[in-house]
Amino acid sequence: MTWLVAGLGNPGPTYARTRHNSGAMVVDLLATRAGERFRKARFVPAEVAELHDPDTGERVLLVKSTRFMNESGPSYASMARKAKIGPDRVIAVHDEIDLPFGALQLKSGGSTAGHNGLKSLQQALRSPEFSRVRVGVGRPPGRQDPADYVLRNFSDRERPDAEALLEDAADAVMAITRDGLPSAQDRFNRRRP
């Protein structure tokens, strides 16, 4: 069986380390851990790294769209169709301003809560029934525009905690593929850092 992990983010070095690219950073981390490199997908605007879990025999496709997040859904849906993966075996990893910085929440289905990357993915898959690994980046301070806030890098003060959070999110992704969502939720869901 095959899983698809959609690391939501924006392409290019300008956005690589921003809060909004938390999902892309998680799939980068998973590829690095496995010693795999991303390669351009054929006929799909995406980069893909493939893992084979020796413990379960599961194949895991790590996917980053090369389109901007708001229009990235068709990239992930095309990869899912090519690999014959249903929405129930898609895991979207994304930043979440509605969770405090450092929080982590795993869930299946639900609304997009205004997250345009999730909205694009849900429309392209024609289903909200995919798993989500929600990486808490917190709300912007004061009256700062949320769009500006998520497009900024983690601060120097936040960086150590952000790195630990991304490591946990990567572990959570693999726990879903190995043990299923309910077990992974028991281990990783936390409302506070």
Domain containing residue 125: CATH number: 3.40.50.1470
Q: Using 50, 70 and 90 to split pLDDT, how confident is the model at 53? A: confident
Minimum mean pLDDT among 12-16, 41-45, 90-94, 111-115: which range?
111-115
**Tokens representing 83?**
């690999």
Whether the pLDDT of residue 48 is over 70: the answer is yes
What pLDDT score does 28 carry?
A: 98
Q: What are phi and psi of 120, to 5 degrees?
A: -65, -40
Mean pLDDT score, 182-191: 94
Mean pLDDT score, 73-98: 97
Q: Using 50, 70 and 90 to split pLDDT, how confident is the model at 55? A: confident
What pLDDT score does 25 carry?
A: 98
Mean pLDDT score, 88-112: 96
Of the CA atoms within 13 Å of residue 19, those in its CB half-sphere come to 27
Q: Quick check: 119 and 125 in contact, CB under 8 A?
A: no
Q: How many whole angstroms separate alpha carbon 181 and alpha carbon 158? A: 28
Number of domains in the chain: 1
Q: What percent of the chain has pLDDT over 70?
A: 99
The tens digit of pLDDT for each residue in 156-179 reads 999 999 999 999 999 999 999 999
Domain assignment of residue 41, given as a range: 2-188
What pLDDT score does 114 carry?
A: 86
94 catalytic residue (yes or no): no
Q: Which of 20, 52, 94, 115 is catalytic?
A: 20
The secondary element (H helix, E strand) that includes residue 68 is none
* Residue 193, in any domain of the structure: no
Mean pLDDT score, 3-32: 97
What pLDDT score does 192 carry?
A: 74
* Residue 144, in any domain of the structure: yes
The tens digit of pLDDT for each residue in 114-160 reads 899 999 999 999 999 999 999 999 999 888 899 899 999 999 999 99
For 39-56, letters b (16+ CB in 10 Å) and e give eebeebbbbbbbbeeeee
The tens digit of pLDDT for each residue in 26-37 reads 999 999 999 999
What pLDDT score does 193 carry?
A: 67
* Residue 74, in any domain of the structure: yes
